[in-house]
Structure formats: C-alpha cells, structure tokens
Amino acid sequence: MSKQGKSPKHRLKKALPVSIESALLGPKEQLVASVRKVSEDSVELQLSKPGSQSALKRGERVRLKYWDEEAVYFSDVEVMAVTGPRNEHVTTSLPSEPVALQRREFFRARSPVSFSFSVVQAANSRLVSGEVHPSQSVNISAGGLRFESTLTLKAGDEIELKLDVSPSEQLSILARVVTSQRVEHEGKYSNSIGVEFYGLTPEERNQIGEFAAETQKKK
C-alpha cells in the first residue's frame, strides 16, 4: 500500500474546495474545483467552471491551493487524467504533504458584524438569483468570516458580500465557502457557513483586519 495513502499530511478530503494554478493559464488565473475522491495515490477533482478554457494536460505539473480552519496550503502535483464531456473531471497525483503552508495569523473578532451578500456561483443553481441577503457574522478576520444562513450553501460555492468598513467606505468582497454545517438553535435549523476571502488587495485585507480589531474593541 502506498505510504502516501496512509499519510494525513496532505489534509485533502471530499468536498474540500481547491484552486488549480497552471502554466497554461494566465499568471493571475486559476481554476476552481472541489475534491470528489481521495484514494491511495490520486485525487479526483470536479471543476466548478469546466470547458475549453480548462486547458489542463496529462503529465502537466500544477499547483493545488486549498485551505481549512487552520491554514492555507500549497502542493505541487501531476495531472494524471482530464475526463468528462466538458473536461470537468481532473485526476492528479496525491501530494504527500504541502510543499508550503501559510498559517492563519489574522486577528479574529467574535462580535457580530452586519453585512449583505449575494450568491454568484453554487452547486444549486437556483441560489444564483441576484437576491441580496442581509446577515451578521459570527466571527470575522482579514482572511474570512463565519455566519449563519437558511441558504444551503456548499463548500466551493461563491458569494459576493458588501461590508461597511467605515461610515464612508464599503468593500465588495468575493468569498468562497470553505465549510457548511447544519446547526440547531431552540428547535430552528440553519447553516453555519465559513468563507475564505479571495482577490483582495493587500490594502483591502489590511482594512478588514483593522475593522475587525476595532469591532472587537467596541464589544
């Protein structure tokens, strides 16, 4: 049996969202996917937006980026197969462990913060309606936030949220669902959803971090 198959160091698991960076794509472009299956020596991925632009080739070396509640991980792997009518299924080699990792060091404010969001991509296409949903955070940091919603969002779904970081400035932030778990409060059910911000400039991330710190001070 493969030693890699026994190792939990890669931290990959079913439904975990990942992004794929490839030399065949632009320097700032990446493919969004989720893990379908992890076997002893390979990982099967489902592309969120498959098509001709998904120009991955068998034998190509690509970089996987994935994350959990503790860190962001980077692993270099080899494309073993690209299948499906729209090239939506990608099989790669299994990384033994991340080649680099970035521990989460963002301050996390556990005071509720009001924001609104709309769903821009989801496994359930009916959720992509353009409707704006008001919400409150359970916690927030420069890296992401957690909130509760009656919407059944899944790992890999994407939202756009509006956050007032000051009385005169609102940020529009793209975020990807990392975790989604059903919770119960006094007989009522909702979903506890954790999202990871992406596409932010360093200045915008600093703004959110400072906003989170100030919010906690006012508690």
pLDDT at 98 (0 to 100): 62
**How much is the average pLDDT of 135-155?**
91
Considering Cα of 55, then 90, then 146, then 127, what sign does the dihedral take?
A: positive
pLDDT digits (tens, 9 = 90+) for 63-78: 888 776 566 778 889 9
Q: Is residue 120 scored above 90 in pLDDT?
A: yes
Task: Write the CATH number for 204.
Answer: 2.40.10.220
CB of 62 within 8 A of CB of 77?
yes
Task: Pull the structure tokens for residue 181.
Answer: 């778990």
Separation of alpha carbons 41 and 46, rounded Å: 17
Task: Write the CATH number for 54.
Answer: 2.30.110.70
Higher pLDDT, 42 or 213: 42
Task: Please check whether residues 204 and 139 belong to one and the same domain.
Answer: yes
Q: Is residue 108 in some structural domain?
A: no
Higher pLDDT, 28 or 158: 158
Q: Is residue 23 scored above 90 in pLDDT?
A: no
Number of structural domains found in the chain: 2
Task: Please check whether residues 91 and 160 belong to one and the same domain.
Answer: no
pTM of the predicted structure, to 2 decimals: 0.59
CB of 119 within 8 A of CB of 128?
yes
Q: Is residue 23 in some structural domain?
A: yes
In the numeric block, the tokens 């200045």 are attached to 203
Task: Please check whether residues 52 and 98 belong to one and the same domain.
Answer: yes
Last residue in a domain, options 78, 103, 128? 103
CB of 101 within 8 A of CB of 110?
no
Last residue in a domain, options 103, 126, 158? 103
**Full domain range(s) for residue 62:** 3-103
Q: Is residue 123 scored above 50 in pLDDT?
A: yes
Band of the pLDDT at 43, cuts 50, 70, 90?
very high
Q: Is residue 194 in some structural domain?
A: yes
Task: Please check whether residues 86 and 125 belong to one and the same domain.
Answer: no
Q: Is residue 171 in some structural domain?
A: yes
Task: Please check whether residues 38 and 87 belong to one and the same domain.
Answer: yes
Q: Is residue 159 scored above 90 in pLDDT?
A: yes
Name 187's Cβ contacts closer than 8 Å, sequence gap at least 6. Answer: none
Residue type, 193: I
Band of the pLDDT at 52, cuts 50, 70, 90?
low
Task: Please check whether residues 144 and 87 belong to one and the same domain.
Answer: no
Separation of alpha carbons 43 and 214, rounded Å: 42
